[in-house]
Structure 1
Amino acid sequence: MWRCPSGLLLLLLLAGQGALGARRGRWRRELAPGLHLRGIRDAGGRYCQEQDMCCRGRADDCALPYLGATCYCDLFCNRTVSDCCPDFWDFCLGVPPPFPPIQGCEHGGRIYPVFGTYWDNCNRCTCQEKGQWECDQEPCLVDLDTINAINQGNYGWQAGNHSAFWGMTLDEGIRYRLGTIRPSSSVMNMNEIYTVLNPGEVLPAAFEASEKWPNLIHEPLDQGNCAGSWAFSTAAVASDRVSIHSLGHMTPVLSPQNLLSCDTHHQQGCRGGRLDGAWWFLRRRGVVSDHCYPFSGRERDEAGPAPPCMMHSRAMGRGKRQATARCPNSHVHANDIYQVTPAYRLGSNEQEIMKELMENGPVQALMEVHEDFFLYQGGIYSHTPVSLSRPEQYRRHGTHSVKITGWGEERLPDGRTLKYWTAANSWGPSWGERGHFRIVRGANECDIESFVLGVWGRVGMEDMGHH
Structure 2
Amino acid sequence: MFILLFSAVLAESLVEIVNSDPTSSWVAIDYPREVITLAKMRAMLGDETEVDGLETMEYVEPDGVPTSFDARQQWPGKLFAVRNQQSCGSCWAHATSEAVGDRFAIKGCSKGVLSVQDLVSCDKNDNGCNGGSGPRAMSYAQSRGITTETCLPYVSGNGRVPSCPSKCKNNSTITRYKTQNNPTFTVANVQQELMNNGPLYFRFTVYSDFMNYKSGVYQHKSGKQEGGHAVLLVGWGVENGVKYWLCQNSWGPSWGERGFFKILRGNNHCDSEKGFWAGSVKC
TM-score normalised per structure 2? 0.88
Contact preservation (8 Å) 2:101, 2:110: no
Aligned twin of 1:431 = 255
Shift of 1:334: 8.5
Structure 2 vs 1, CA of residues 403 and 454 (structure 1 numbering), >3 Å: closer, same or farther? same
Which deviations, in whole Å up to 9, do the C-alpha atoms of 1:192-226 show, x marking residues without a partner? Answer: 9xxxx6xxx43211111121112111122111110
* Larger Rg, first or second structure (1 or 2): 1
Q: In structure 1, how many angstroms separate the alpha carbons of the residues matched to 2:215 and 2:237?
A: 15
Describe the SS at the equivalent of 1:406. Answer: strand
Q: In structure 1, how many angstroms separate the alpha carbons of the residues matched to 2:11 and 2:172?
A: 45
Q: In structure 2, how many angstroms separate the alpha carbons of the residues matched to 1:432 and 1:256?
A: 22
Unaligned runs of 5+ in 2: none
Structure 2 vs 1, CA of residues 431 and 121 (structure 1 numbering), >3 Å: closer, same or farther? farther
Q: Which amino acid aligns with 1:242?
A: F
Q: Which amino acid aligns with 1:219?
A: A
Describe the SS at the equivalent of 1:259. Answer: helix
Structure 2 vs 1, CA of residues 277 and 140 (structure 1 numbering), >3 Å: closer, same or farther? farther
Which deviations, in whole Å up to 9, do the C-alpha atoms of 1:224-243 show, x marking residues without a partner? Answer: 11011111111111111122
Q: In structure 2, how many angstroms separate the alpha carbons of the residues matched to 1:253 and 1:142?
A: 37
Q: In structure 1, how many angstroms separate the alpha carbons of the residues matched to 2:34 and 2:2?
A: 13
Q: In structure 1, how many angstroms separate the alpha carbons of the residues matched to 2:2 and 2:151?
A: 40
Which deviations, in whole Å up to 9, do the C-alpha atoms of 1:144-191 show, x marking residues without a partner? Answer: 1211221121311111123246784x4x346411101132756x47xx
Aligned twin of 1:237 = 99
Describe the SS at the equivalent of 2:228. Answer: strand
Which deviations, in whole Å up to 9, do the C-alpha atoms of 1:120-153 show, x marking residues without a partner? Answer: 7814xxxxxxxxxxxxxx4459711211221121
| 1:146 partnered with 2:1 | no
Q: Which amino acid aligns with 1:338?
A: Y
Q: In structure 1, how many angstroms separate the alpha carbons of the residues matched to 2:47 and 2:230?
A: 6
Which deviations, in whole Å up to 9, do the C-alpha atoms of 1:424-451 show, x marking residues without a partner? Answer: 0111111100110011111211111111
Contact preservation (8 Å) 2:114, 2:148: yes
Q: In structure 2, how many angstroms separate the alpha carbons of the residues matched to 1:347 and 1:164?
A: 37
Q: Structure 1 residue aligned with 2:215, among 360, 367, 378?
A: 378
Contact preservation (8 Å) 2:49, 2:135: no
Contact preservation (8 Å) 2:252, 2:259: yes
Q: Which amino acid aligns with 1:361?
A: G
Aligned twin of 1:252 = 112
Describe the SS at the equivalent of 1:163. Answer: coil
Aligned twin of 2:151 = 292
Q: In structure 2, how many angstroms separate the alpha carbons of the residues matched to 1:141 and 1:236?
A: 35
Q: In structure 2, how many angstroms separate the alpha carbons of the residues matched to 1:164 and 1:403?
A: 24
Listed as ranges, the matches of 1:177-216 within 5 Å are 177-183=44-50, 188=54, 201-216=63-78
Listed as ranges, the matches of 1:10-409 within 5 Å are 119=1, 122-123=4-5, 138-140=6-8, 143-154=11-22, 155-164=24-33, 168=37, 170=38, 172-173=39-40, 175-183=42-50, 188=54, 201-244=63-106, 247-265=107-125, 267-300=126-159, 306-311=161-166, 325=167, 327-328=168-169, 330=170, 335-349=174-188, 352-384=189-221, 386-387=222-223, 395-409=224-238
Contact preservation (8 Å) 2:216, 2:239: no
Unaligned runs of 5+ in 1: 1-118, 124-137, 312-324, 388-394, 412-416
Q: Which amino acid aligns with 2:83?
A: L
Q: Which amino acid aligns with 1:290?
A: E
Aligned twin of 2:279 = 455
Contact preservation (8 Å) 1:121, 1:167: no
Contact preservation (8 Å) 2:214, 2:256: yes
Contact preservation (8 Å) 1:142, 1:161: no
TM-score normalised per structure 1? 0.55
RMSD: 2.6
Structure 2 vs 1, CA of residues 418 and 220 (structure 1 numbering), >3 Å: closer, same or farther? same
Q: Which amino acid aligns with 2:268?
A: N
Q: Which has the higher contact order (CA 8 A, sep 6+)?
A: 2
Contact preservation (8 Å) 1:141, 1:371: no
Describe the SS at the equivalent of 2:129. Answer: coil
Describe the SS at the equivalent of 2:105. Answer: helix
Which deviations, in whole Å up to 9, do the C-alpha atoms of 1:331-372 show, x marking residues without a partner? Answer: x968532111221111233xx221111111111111001100
Shift of 1:249: 2.4
**Percent of residue pairs bearing the same amino acid type:** 30
